[in-house]
Amino acid sequence: MIFEGATVQSFVGVGVFRGRVIGPIRHMPPALTPPPSGEGLDSSTSAETAAAQLKEAGAQVKATLLERAGRASGDGKEVLQATALMATDPMLIKAAIKLINKGSSAERAIWDAGDTVAATLISLGGYMAERSHDVLDVRSRIVAALRGVPAPEIPDSEEPFILVADDLAPADTATLDPAKVIALVTAGGGPQSHTAIIARSLGLPAVVAAKGVAELVEGSQLYVDGSAGVVSSEPGDTERAAVKRWLEKASLLDVFDGDGQLADGSKLALLANVGGAKDAQEAAAANAQGVGLLRTEFCFLGNSTEPTHEDQVAAYKGVFDAFPGQKVVVRTLDAGADKPLPFLTDSTEPNPALGVRGYRTDSTTPGVLARQLAAIADAAAQSQALVWVMAPMISTPAEAADFAALCTTAGLKVPGVMVEVPSAALTSRHLLDRVEFASLGTNDLTQYAMAADRQLGPLAELNDPWQPAVLALIQATVEGAVAQAKHSASLALEDALPKPVGVCGEAAADPALAVVLAGLGVSSLSMTARALPAVAAVLRTVTQDEARRLANRAVAAASAAEARDLVRAGLPALSELGL
């Protein structure tokens, strides 16, 4: 949305990470020019040579992206590893070689193959539509490698700047230097897109889905409010005063003391999402009360074969050792959809977003999960962390029971499930009869509940965890845990506490939404470590009863915007803290 004055343009998008800044605009460079339409093979180049050159260029791009992944951490590392795999993806490379064999040059073949594969993925929607952006980015990088020129990169500048783009590829976003790039603004994307997730992990003020910003003048001054989702050109005294107020209050949000609680002393554990030992060490330094989500994909992505038992044990132990005596919740391999693995998933599956991913891979490739659980158990035995294990993409009580049995065989005593599918939320009572805890993955739960691709800017309003339907599913999950406890108590003729239900999606990092989640009765919130201080500060301003009243208002709202506005109006601490 654009509002124009005499010389000032204001844009309203979706704010994805807090902060107010003013700085000069730098646009992403123009995309690589496509090879001429119909460009054929040079007379001196055979199809076999062109195909070999294409494969070599793909391998070069993959190696470059994996090298960047090695320098990244957390969400950025995982995104880069997944994007690197696309550079040698059989679907893309085979389609290009087929065109080469018909006479196309290597550049034109990969360009057209990229268009075809991207269109196919977009038609599938969901995760596959997200991957279309990766395909087009990788295609351009392969063409650049074939030409022997650098791919378009984030501009360099001697002074800090605000990066403005139509959208950003994961390969660009994941390795941003926050000392140079002080804010991100994109015309596309949504609140749970890769750009948004990485901006949160880097602690960068960011606004996405701000249509029209790509037309702003290079080098001109821009004001960005990452909390409100507002962007304004030609900032004046009002905007400068807002930045000053933010800087004065931001110091209050720098440190979390390691004690998550509400104003009445009610405890709510504040945990960290991590993707490796480096992340875990940073989370421990940020005083996280444990790990609510260890993404184990970091151990698998980028590999053409299953990692060895020894490699897995070492990788997991590196995380566990950062949290002696504290809870570490491990998510088993969430392969498939946007994270295909050559030794585990089928690249020709017609609709991977609704196909064999997460726990479901155990039905088609048995053994990988059991071996992973054995490695987790061995790593746990060599550390002092309190290790819990959960499976992604559980849809039925039978799947939960099967996973619990696998954990028992491996010697893991606290099995749990991710609640990402609406069916799991609606049957949580029966799921929790079979496992010891549940964790709400709000990113996927929102996407599946609203049937909205989280990467698409036009669907940002739908793909919003504030949607009352999503909040109702969270409420149903917690109520299922309470019902399960009552049922167990009636059988045992003694009281039983509800089994833990936590949240590990991006929703937990929103301070206002964290209050709603607390009011709905969740037992823990897990987020990027950078979000811990702000979430903790706001939670301490409300009692459990106040949080419950705000949660009820949000669930009863008619829209995500209404739910958000009702809750924010009841939380004066947000404006006091500049949130």
Phi, psi of 259 (to 5 degrees): -130, 95
| d(C-alpha 145, C-alpha 107), whole Å | 10
Q: Which residues are catalytic?
A: 194, 504
For residue 144, give every residue at least 6 positions away whose Cβ sits within 8 Å of its Cβ, in sequence order, or none: 32, 150, 151, 152
Give the residue among 65, 67, 61 at the shortest CA–CA distance from 93.
Answer: 61
Contact 464, 209 (CB under 8 A): no
Give the residue among 552, 550, 579 at the shortest CA–CA distance from 567.
Answer: 550
Contact 547, 290 (CB under 8 A): no
| Chain centre to alpha carbon of residue 256 | 22
Phi, psi of 345 (to 5 degrees): -120, 160
Q: How far is CA 309 from CA 46, 374, 410, 481, in A?
A: 44, 8, 13, 35
- Using the structure block, give the residue that is written with the tokens 């940073």: 282
Q: How would you list the strands of the sheet with 206-208, edge to edge?
A: 2-4, 9-12, 230-233, 221-225, 20-27, 161-165, 181-186, 206-208, 14-17
What is the DSSP annotation of 55-67? HHHHHHHHHHHHH
| d(C-alpha 567, C-alpha 418), whole Å | 27
| d(C-alpha 88, C-alpha 59), whole Å | 6
